[in-house]
Amino acid sequence: MLYLASKSPRRRELLGRLGLPFGVLDLDIPEQRAPGEPAEDYVRRVAREKAGAGLLKVVATPGALVLGADTEVILDDEVFGKPADAEDAARMLRRLSGRTHRVVSAVTLMSNQREVQAVSVSEVSFAALSEAQIAAYVATGEADGKAGAYGIQGRAEVFVTRLDGSFSGVMGLPLHETAALLAEFGLGPLAAARDGG
């Protein structure tokens, strides 16, 4: 049985696109970058901790497989997590305005026997944003709960002048990488392709 260790509705929607049944585990994992911890290592660690905490919840379920993921926006080695409030969201968007940032999305798949991980790194370029555009976007509430204070699948898509990488990865779950990990456990659309069936 596959479980998603995430409260994110976007991750639920994305994983659902792979056509596999799965359960959802509601976890509260602290997302705190350690001093001196490289940004990508931090994202990898949080994804692994989510999967591990999820596995502990379902360890008694035979064949349990838990997927943990973390996505962060990174600019100049600063990790832009979820904004604390509207003012914080506006601050983040001002920093991202007219710049190219990285979106790192790590996925960990864990069973009692093994663990695999993949990382997707995308580069996203934003147009220069006016204070009015930032205020209008923050007022929609769409920035709430999203790394970097924006959702590429929503109104913020108009800010993006260039995307080099994975659209689903920027949303929160890189589908190609996730499907490849699931295939290693014999699940999902890439597993069927791999078997030639």
User: Is the whole-model pTM more than 0.85?
Assistant: yes
Largest CA distance in the chain: 54
- pLDDT computed for residue 7 by the predictor: 85
Q: Are 119 and 40 in contact (CB under 8 A)?
A: yes
Residue 175, class by beta-carbon neighbours within 10 Å (0-12 exposed, 13-18 middle, 19+ buried)?
buried
Q: Are 157 and 125 in contact (CB under 8 A)?
A: no
- pLDDT computed for residue 194 by the predictor: 61
Q: Which residues are catalytic?
A: 70
Helix or strand (DSSP H, E) at 48: helix 39-58
Give the CA angle between residues 111, 113, 118 to the nearest 5°: 55
- pLDDT computed for residue 31 by the predictor: 87
10-residue mean pLDDT profile of the chain (197 residues): values are 94 96 92 94 97 95 95 96 96 98 98 96 98 98 95 96 98 97 94 64
